Amino acid sequence: MGADLTDQPVLRRHAEDAFADELAVLAAGDERERPPGWRLSPWAVVTYLLGGEAADGTEVTAKYLGDRRLIEVAVATLATDRSLLLLGVPGTAKTWVSEHLAAAVSGDSTLLVQGTAGTGEESLRYGWNYARLLAEGPSEAAMVPSPVMVAMQRGAIARVEELTRIPSDTQDALITILSEKSLPIPELGSEVQARRGFNVIATANNRDRGVNELSSALRRRFNTVVLPLPATVEEEVEIVRQRVAQLGRALGLPDVPPALDEVRRIVTVFRELRSGQTEDGQARVKSPSGTLSTAEVISVVGNGIALAAHFGDGEVRAGDVAAGIVGAVVQDPVADAVVLREYLETVVRERDGWLDLYRALREHL
């Protein structure tokens, strides 16, 4: 007999569960006008995303560090008849922002369609339980609603991840839903009309290859908000610090907070290779083929914590993060390795206090 795992904590809780206390406190003291179907006012949604103070003085943690105006525009869009498209390079927190917006607006971030090259129209509209369909014919009982259809029925937010990964003819199934706020069901001679509070948040990667461009008809239904990369080293360091701490608690990693100086070095390496120049602007460097996003920095630091805790002395050092840095940078084993070696010799080797990182990275190349 296997062990009973029913009480085992889940690996990652949904935003509305992980931050239920903050959402409840904000809702209790929120006296501002709420759009129909919303759990919070737009002002409270922005406070939940960016952090601040609830009406009773409770501190609300920041879920996103960045331009406040961008988040205000995103939230205001959801209060109109237009849907929201979060666009950006990998690692700019598009999925993270999408999840937290849905949690704050409708209390449910799980009405999700994951876009892939194989996503069919039934994922955006509805499908059928074919056993019941053959036995009974078309009926509501035989229908399998998509997350978008469920969101329409509930007056909630639906999320579509990687919209441009979905084939173009499937994408266009959204046009009637977004423009008419209804979903025809020809087989039943009926339709589903969206309740107040319904909207769609889609995300798309604007640097990925092999994607399907949105048709002009579909793009007009969205208001696009471009999420940028962190503006400064310190901003990116703080994002990494917060996310590593959250992931560490969720994964049960040993409590080994990395030194901020070590995190700052990793962030600096990624930013310089990403931008093609050193932070001081004095020298140009070649960029590798990968995106080197903030998400990859978080992964490198998390892996370094695990190595330091389980196979080291508990302190994250250059040797604990070197393999992760090389793995993230060297996507093309020939061209990217040359780029990284040149960067090590011309930049890292010459920096005061970076000799340990230089040696550790050289060992893995």
Angstrom distance (rounded) from CA 82 to CA 62: 26
Strands 112-114 and 182-185: unpaired
DSSP 160: E
Query: Which one, of 101, 121, 205, lies nearest residue 163 by Cα?
Result: 205
What string of pLDDT tens digits covers the 365 residues of the chain? Answer: 455 555 667 788 999 999 999 999 999 999 999 999 999 999 999 999 999 999 889 999 999 999 999 999 999 999 998 999 999 988 889 999 999 999 999 999 999 999 999 999 999 999 999 999 998 889 999 999 999 999 999 999 999 999 999 999 999 999 999 999 999 999 999 999 999 999 999 999 876 655 678 889 999 999 999 999 898 999 999 999 988 888 877 777 777 677 889 999 999 999 999 999 999 888 999 999 988 889 899 999 999 988 988 898 888 999 999 999 999 999 999 999 999 999 999 999 999 999 999 999 999 98
Instruction: State the CATH class of domain 15-226.
Output: alpha beta
- For 69-107, the pLDDT digits (tens) are 999 999 999 999 899 999 998 888 999 999 999 999 999
pTM score, two decimals? 0.89
SS3 state at 310: helix
Nearest to 235 by CA among 66, 100, 50: 66
Q: Domain locations in the chain?
A: 15-226, 233-363
- Distance, in Å, from the CA atom of 54 to the CA atom of 58, rounded to the nearest integer, reads 5
Amino acid sitting at position 314 = G
Give the burial string for 293-319 (b: 16+ CB within 10 Å, else e): bbbbbbbbbbbbbbbbbeebeeebbbb
Direct distance between the N- and C-terminal alpha carbons of the chain, in angstroms, rounded to an integer:
47
- CA atoms within 13 A of residue 270's CA, in its CB half-sphere: 33
Distances (CA, A) of 358 to 211, 300, 333, 346, 349: 37, 16, 19, 11, 6
Helix residue ranges, H only, the chain: 15-18, 20-28, 42-50, 68-78, 94-106, 130-136, 147-154, 168-171, 174-180, 216-219, 233-251, 260-275, 294-311, 318-329, 335-343, 355-363
